[in-house]
């Protein structure tokens, strides 16, 4: 039995998953997080599929993605000595304007992906260095990338363009859309479990620390709230969401802020954190009940409702709304605020089902079906890796690379 490792490298974190390959879907064995990379109090945490905590026996600072990968793998190796890694799947934020499917990763491909780093400077370089570290660690394993932009390549031109002189579009200044790996999972899940809705008009709200919404027809993206960068659209944990570009000009001209300072403000100090002055964790804001925390929540749900209306107009009607992501899957309050008093829109929420985080939280009479579907980005990546192995003709029983070798 061989395994797939999934990696999702961020600026100071590395999420990892270990999946067992078999005849069916890849099965999760363990998932974890290396956090606070580059800081003295870095930590590695993991949990097995049946909920057991996996401990890091060698704590200490972690300098970079390569060291983070090493620490995560050492921990996995200790706890799962039978592990045989035949493929590594990577989440990469930017695949540019052409890539619309997962791609096998080679050193040449990674070099080519560097050209998108200026479009996603806070994510792409880390994704690439994570992939390089994995290639070094597993030189014989298949490597594959799933791109956050890929799912949105089905957008019509009007949804991809900014009203700037055309030369900027040609240079790549476009609305790419993100969170595509999560939307891919939701689309596939709907196809399996609710084919009629999948074939219809659906808005998916991925509400986590990052947040965006996606309009789908026939399971394919036709519009998204995120654009050129992962800053646009909804306010997020620490990101501002939609902003008049005049504000950026003001910050430069009048406040004398540099590009780096503005990036830090918009990515790290804004959103729920900026408005509440308290934090970016929705659970904390819900419990705090201060004027600022209430206003932060009000702005968050106001923008979601506004985008829901806009995306419904893009779709020409609405058959289903899906909530996903840490907030979408768990917060009855946020779902209630978004869907409350929306009978005129065709949404009738069932309060008990909403309180239970049920799969369907609308009433039987609701014209629009409202659902809660936990996302599973790691499974999308593991499936892509399994498909790649299958296409390579590597039987699942024949390890390509043995971690213990
Ligand atoms: P994610 O980025 O998808 O992991 O989501 C993280 C966000 O989900 C954080 O803002 C958490 O506060 C939020 N979250 C997780 N559980 C809950 C909950 N029970 N109620 C409200 N928000 C939650």
Q: Give residue-wise pLDDT tens across range 289-302.
A: 899 999 999 999 99
Mean pLDDT of 360-383: 97
Quote the CA–CA distance of 230 and 315 in Å, as a whole number.
Answer: 22
Quote the CA–CA distance of 390 and 176 in Å, as a whole number.
Answer: 30
Mean pLDDT of 215-232: 96
Is the pLDDT reported for residue 405 higher than 50?
A: no
Q: CB of 325 closer than 6 A to ligand 1?
A: yes
Structure confidence at residue 402 (pLDDT): 30
Q: How is residue 373 written in tokens?
A: 């579907």
**Side-chain half-sphere exposure of 42, counting CA atoms within 13 A:** 24
Closest residue by CA, ligand 1 atom 18:
330
Structure confidence at residue 120 (pLDDT): 87
Q: CB of 237 closer than 6 A to ligand 1?
A: yes
Structure confidence at residue 396 (pLDDT): 35
CA of 375 to the centre of ligand 1 (A): 13
Quote the CA–CA distance of 218 and 202 in Å, as a whole number.
Answer: 9
Q: CB of 117 closer than 6 A to ligand 1?
A: no
Is the pLDDT reported for residue 398 higher than 70?
A: no
Q: What are the residues whose beta carbons fall under 8 Å from the beta carbon of 61, sequence distance 6 or more? A: 39, 40, 41, 42
CA of 166 to the centre of ligand 1 (A): 40
pLDDT tier at 400, thresholds 50, 70, 90: very low
- Whether the CB-CB separation of 237 and 273 falls below 8 Å is answered with yes
Q: CB of 10 closer than 6 A to ligand 1?
A: no
pTM above the 0.85 mark? yes
pLDDT tier at 163, thresholds 50, 70, 90: very high
In this predicted model, what pLDDT tens digit does every residue of 301-327 receive, in sequence order? Answer: 999 999 999 999 999 999 999 999 999
Which ligand 1 atom is nearest residue 282's CA? 12
Q: CB of 209 closer than 6 A to ligand 1?
A: yes
Please give the positions annotated as active site: 148
CA of 331 to the centre of ligand 1 (A): 8
Which ligand 1 atom is nearest residue 325's CA? 3
Mutate to test the pocket of ligand 1, among 185, 206, 273, 283 (most ligand atoms within 8 A of CB): 283
Quote the CA–CA distance of 303 and 29 in Å, as a whole number.
Answer: 38
Largest CA distance in the chain: 64
Mean pLDDT of 229-237: 96
Cα–Cα distances in angstroms (integers) from residue 367 to residues 320, 362, 370, in the given order: 9, 9, 9
φ, ψ of residue 133 to 5 degrees: the values are -60, -40
Q: CB of 282 closer than 6 A to ligand 1?
A: yes
- Whether the CB-CB separation of 7 and 130 falls below 8 Å is answered with yes
Cα–Cα distances in angstroms (integers) from residue 211 to residues 234, 237, 307, 321, 358, in the given order: 6, 8, 12, 15, 21
Is the pLDDT reported for residue 395 higher than 70?
A: no
Is the pLDDT reported for residue 397 higher than 50?
A: no
Q: CB of 336 closer than 6 A to ligand 1?
A: no
The DSSP annotation for 108-122 comes to HHHHHHGGGGGGSTT
Most confident option among 3-12, 168-177, 386-395: 168-177
Q: Which residue has the higher pLDDT, 244 or 118?
A: 244
DSSP 47: E
CA of 282 to the centre of ligand 1 (A): 6
Q: How many CB atoms lie within 10 A of CB 164?
A: 11
Q: CB of 74 closer than 6 A to ligand 1?
A: no
Structure confidence at residue 248 (pLDDT): 98
Quote the CA–CA distance of 298 and 282 in Å, as a whole number.
Answer: 12
CA of 284 to the centre of ligand 1 (A): 10
The span from the first CA to the last CA of the chain, in angstroms, equals: 16
pLDDT tier at 104, thresholds 50, 70, 90: very high
pLDDT tier at 350, thresholds 50, 70, 90: very high
Closest residue by CA, ligand 1 atom 20:
331
Q: CB of 159 closer than 6 A to ligand 1?
A: no
CA of 200 to the centre of ligand 1 (A): 28
Q: CB of 375 closer than 6 A to ligand 1?
A: no
pLDDT tier at 226, thresholds 50, 70, 90: very high
Structure confidence at residue 290 (pLDDT): 96
In this predicted model, what pLDDT tens digit does every residue of 197-216 receive, in sequence order? Answer: 999 999 999 999 999 999 99
**Side-chain half-sphere exposure of 403, counting CA atoms within 13 A:** 25
Quote the CA–CA distance of 47 and 185 in Å, as a whole number.
Answer: 22
Quote the CA–CA distance of 84 and 220 in Å, as a whole number.
Answer: 35
Is the pLDDT reported for residue 46 higher than 50?
A: yes
Which ligand 1 atom is nearest residue 375's CA? 3
CA of 376 to the centre of ligand 1 (A): 15
Which ligand 1 atom is nearest residue 206's CA? 3
| Domains assigned to the chain | 3-147+378-395 (3.30.420.40), 194-372 (3.30.420.40)
Q: How many CB atoms lie within 10 A of CB 292?
A: 14
β-bridge pairing 103-104 and 320-324: unpaired
pLDDT tier at 66, thresholds 50, 70, 90: confident
Quote the CA–CA distance of 379 and 370 in Å, as a whole number.
Answer: 23
């Amino acid at each position: 039995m061989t395994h797939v490792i999934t990696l999702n490298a961020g600026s100071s974190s590395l999420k990892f998953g270990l999946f067992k390959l078999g005849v069916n879907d890849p099965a999760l064995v363990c998932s974890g997080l290396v956090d606070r990379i580059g800081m003295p109090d870095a930590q590695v945490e993991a949990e097995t599929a049946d909920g057991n905590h996996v401990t890091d026996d060698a704590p200490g600072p972690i300098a970079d993605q390569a060291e983070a990968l090493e620490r995560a793998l050492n921990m996995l190796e200790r706890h799962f000595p039978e592990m045989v890694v035949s493929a590594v799947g990577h989440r990469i934020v930017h695949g540019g304007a052409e890539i619309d499917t997962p791609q096998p990763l080679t050193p040449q491909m990674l070099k080519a992906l560097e050209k998108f780093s200026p479009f996603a400077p806070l994510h792409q370089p880390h994704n690439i260095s994570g992939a390089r570290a994995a290639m070094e660690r597993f030189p014989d394993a298949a490597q594959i990338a799933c791109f956050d932009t890929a799912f949105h390549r089905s957008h019509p031109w009007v949804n991809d363009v900014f009203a700037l002189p055309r030369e900027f579009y040609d240079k790549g200044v476009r609305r790419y859309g993100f969170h595509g790996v999560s939307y891919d999972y939701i689309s596939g899940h709907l196809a399996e479990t609710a084919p009629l809705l999948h074939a219809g008009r659906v808005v998916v709200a991925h509400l986590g620390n990052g947040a965006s919404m996606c309009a789908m027809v026939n399971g394919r993206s036709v519009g998204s709230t995120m654009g050129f960068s992962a800053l646009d659209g909804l306010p997020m944990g620490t990101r501002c969401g939609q902003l008049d570009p005049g504000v950026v000009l003001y910050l430069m001209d009048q406040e004398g802020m540099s590009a780096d300072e503005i990036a830090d403000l918009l990515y790290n100090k804004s959103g729920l954190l900026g408005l509440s002055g308290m934090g970016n964790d929705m659970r904390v804001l819900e419990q705090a009940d201060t004027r600022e925390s209430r206003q932060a929540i009000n702005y968050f749900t106001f923008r979601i409702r506004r985008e829901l209306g806009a995306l419904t107009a893009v779709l020409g009607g609405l058959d289903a709304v899906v909530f996903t992501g840490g907030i979408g899957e768990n917060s009855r309050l946020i779902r209630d605020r978004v869907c409350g008093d929306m009978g005129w829109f065709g949404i009738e929420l069932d309060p008990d089902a909403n309180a239970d985080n049920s799969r369907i939280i609308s009433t039987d009479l609701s014209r629009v079906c409202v659902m809660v579907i936990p996302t599973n980005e790691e499974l999308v990546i593991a499936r892509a890796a399994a498909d790649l192995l299958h296409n390579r003709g590597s039987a699942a029983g024949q390890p390509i690379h043995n971690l213990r070798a």
